[in-house]
Amino acid sequence: MFRSALKRCTAAAAATAMTILGATGAALPAAAQSTEQAASDTTMRIATSGLVDNFNPFTSIYLTPTAINRYVYENLVQYDSKDFGPTEGLAEKWDANDTGDEWTFTIRDGMKWSDGEPISSKDVVYTYTQMMEDPAMGAANGSLVENFESVEAPDDTTVVIKLKSPQAPNPGVEIPVVPEHVWSKKKDPAKDDNDSEVVGSGPYVLDSYKANQSITLKANPNFWKGKPKVDTIQYTYYTNSDAMVQALRAGDVDFVTGLSPEQMKALENADNIETNVGESRRFTALGVNPGFETPEGEAYGTGNEALKDVKVRQALRLGIDMKTLREQVMQDYATEATSFVPESFEKWHLPKSDKIVSHDPEAAKKLLDEAGWKEGSDGIREKDGKKLSLRLLIDAQTPTEQSIAEFITPWLKDIGVEIKAESSDSDTISDRTMKGDFDIYVTGWSVTPDPEYQLSINTCASRPDSEGNGPTSQDGYCNKAFDELYKKQHTELDEGKRQELVHQALQQHYDDAPQITLWYPKQLEAYRSDRFAGFTTQPEDGGVIGNQSGYWGFLTAAPADEADGGKGGSSAGLWIGIGAVVVIAAVAIPLVLRRRSADDRA
């Protein structure tokens, strides 16, 4: 993947979204030392090993900081916790004109930044204009403003966005708004890490960051919904997920995520621990190098030439027994996948049909025959004197990726494809995939409720340069037919017609196979019920706490003796005492998804 891929997840989390991310290639301490706040009733401690590139909302492409920024900066419009519908953010109301090419947002009066300065429409104009005018400032979310003609502030509480063409997605979602009075004074805002003296508008503000040790958030007393009951959220770094499990059992942390089904069982019947199995917004996939090119058409990377042939990519999918892989690796904690839009977004998810193929080795062999790859004496196919041998990058610290490699290697050998697993660390894998230096690797993203963003990063225009600079791309994919479907759905105001166009685009991507989606992982989460309760899930029915499209998960949390009589939890019936615990995408926590896992976008 690219930098895009890195976002909503990270190299390790990409694998299954249920694995722990490595913060850097360097070794981490088993656990960062506890701070003097660790025992505080109003300090929530979260175990993590999430990658951090920076906390700059204009440029950050990793899952952990993207997720944290959801708590630090408000959008104009949020996705609600009930069913992902649009709800108030900085704007208390909004309207589109009859033709859909002009949107007017009314900013809530009287809001303040965490430093006490007033929030106004001018902050929104500043934020959006930076992304529109400076490509470096649009690294993370630039595709969301490509259709903007202008952004204006007629007065302090009004924002008018004029579009180049009508669009269905609300242009106020997914873009964190920053304070102009702070960012306009930065010498080079695109290169600013934004990890100190942070001023925000969300429920929490980044207070401190110590690489490979801790991330600390403080409650924002000026948040327009009111100051959260949890004063401090503290992310503490751990070397591995087993250490996180032990920390949760011992009461050294309060919330854990990113564990395997096996680790979940290890927490069975643990005292003072509650668990949640939620429908996530993630997918896990194999990224297949289709041949990387810059937007100008200049080829780069080391991908195997064979993978430029769609028949070879399709054969790989047919050679993998998805059902067995899912059941053996994820047990009951993942569902069948069709595309990069998870089934949690039922409206946009590509429904299963006879166009979604199943395991069929004979059909795979036929495709390889048609592509000119003939079986050699050792069973591995050859063409023009070269063997069909592919590199599979896997994270050495991620058991799920190791398992995926163990299963698919003999399956693909059966159809004549040699797989050579190359274990490495997450940083190295991220760097290599960003530069197209791979054949196949395990990836994953956290997808937003509206498919607009995830579709946009699969267009030809969203490809970065050979160094990974510029826009975000999911897998270096480029197909003019897909681009045309993307443009049509973008401007289709009739929701039913747009839904059909989205499905067509997803099917086109599926047929081209630049990615082989493996499953949609369940998100399994655990917390110390003797310490905190009152979490909010998204969606309300069967949803998750971490890795949300918003800040609802921890916003309503409170010390256990203050929330619901100390019994805590979210919507009735969502907390499942299955006696085991899993959680996904470290931090919340996550998500990128954001993008690569998703990196997310998160």
> If pLDDT is split at 50, 70 and 90, which confidence band does 584 have?
very low
Q: In CATH terms, are 43-254+531-562 and 284-522 the same topology?
A: no
Instruction: Check pLDDT > 90 for residue 579.
Output: no
pLDDT at 26 over 90: no
Burial class (CB in 10 A: 0-12, 13-18, 19+), 485: buried
For residue 456, the model assigns a pLDDT of 93
Res. 447: pLDDT tops 80: yes
pLDDT of residue 589: 29
Backbone angles phi, psi at 559, to 5 degrees: -50, 145
Superfamily of domain 284-522: Dipeptide-binding Protein; Domain 3 (3.10.105.10)
Instruction: Kindly state the average pLDDT of the residues 134-142.
Output: 91
Residue pair 339/518 in contact by the 8 Å Cβ criterion: no
* Average pLDDT of every residue of the chain: 86
Our CA dihedral for 131, 134, 140, 143, rounded to 10 degrees, sits at: 60
The reported pLDDT for the residue numbered 332 is: 85
Once rounded to an integer, what is the mean pLDDT over residues 352-373?
A: 97
pLDDT for residue 446 is more than 60: yes
Token pair, residue 390, equals 């592919």
pLDDT band at 581 (very low <50, low <70, confident <90, very high): very low
The pLDDT of residue 591: 30
For the ranges 164-178, 196-210, 251-265, 394-408, the lowest mean pLDDT is seen at 251-265
* pLDDT given for residue 34 in this prediction: 42
More confident residue, 542 or 507: 507
- Per-residue pLDDT, averaged over 104-125, amounts to 98
A 10 A CB-CB count for 307 gives: 20
Structure-token pair, residue 74: 């408000």
Say how far apart CA 250 and CA 242 lie, in whole Å: 12
Dist CA 20 CA 76 (whole Å): 32
Higher pLDDT, 309 or 570: 309
212-226, 308-322, 411-425, 583-597 — which is least confidently predicted? 583-597
Number of other CB atoms surrounding residue 322 within 10 Å? 18
Options 3.50.30.60, 3.30.930.10, 3.40.190.10, 3.40.50.10190; CATH of 43-254+531-562: 3.40.190.10
Q: Give the model confidence (pLDDT) of 69-111 as tens digits.
A: 999 999 999 999 999 999 999 999 999 999 989 999 999 999 9
Domain ranges of the chain: 43-254+531-562, 284-522
